């Protein structure tokens, strides 16, 4: 079983459990997945802080003593975000609102926002999260 964080088109976030990714995709394409808050069946997966490991052969960044190297793990997460999210710079809040209201295509975005812009996003119900600024290739300096 695998748990996914899901979100309906109205912004409600909830968790769904499935046998695997293919099972989720099949059920979602058949409109069998619905929001428990409003029964909306336009559902998408959202970034989750939880990870699932399929195989014991998968190695988390670690040391020889088997302990997780959290600095390396953070760098890998930042590399993933830099690679998979469109960088909008200071235009983040404006585009996030457009996506929220269906004016722009849904996609993974990243960028910066002022405190005032963050307040507006929260008031409008736009979900976002903040991560510390870290360059993708900081590990080359060490």
What is residue 48's predicted lDDT score, i.e. its pLDDT? 61
41 and 74 both lie in a single domain: no
- The answer to whether position 79 is within a domain reads yes
Domain total for the chain?
Answer: 2
Q: Which structural domain range is residue 35 located in? A: 2-45
Asked if 16 and 32 touch (Cβ cutoff 8 Å), the reply is: no
What is residue 142's predicted lDDT score, i.e. its pLDDT? 47
74 and 137 both lie in a single domain: yes
Q: Tell me, rounded to whole angstroms, the distance of Cα 72 from its chain centroid.
A: 19
pTM (global) more than 0.85: no
The angle at the Cα of 84, spanning 34 to 119, to the nearest 5 degrees, equals 70
129 and 89 both lie in a single domain: yes
Residues 54-96 pLDDT 10s: 544 445 555 667 778 888 888 888 888 888 899 999 999 999 9
């Amino acid at each position: 079983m695998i748990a996914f964080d899901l979100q309906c088109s109205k912004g409600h976030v909830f968790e769904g459990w499935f046998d695997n990714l293919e099972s989720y995709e099949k059920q979602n394409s058949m409109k069998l997945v619905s929001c428990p808050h409003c029964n909306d069946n336009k559902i998408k997966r959202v970034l989750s802080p939880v990870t699932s490991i399929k195989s014991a052969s998968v190695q988390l960044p670690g040391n020889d003593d088997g302990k997780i190297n959290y600095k390396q793990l953070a760098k890998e997460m930042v590399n993933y975000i830099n690679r998979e999210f469109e960088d909008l710079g200071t235009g983040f809040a404006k585009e996030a609102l457009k996506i929220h209201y269906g004016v722009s295509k849904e996609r993974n975005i990243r960028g910066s926002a002022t405190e005032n812009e963050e307040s507006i996003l929260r008031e409008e119900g736009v979900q976002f999260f903040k991560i510390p600024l870290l360059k993708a290739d900081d590990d080359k300096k060490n």
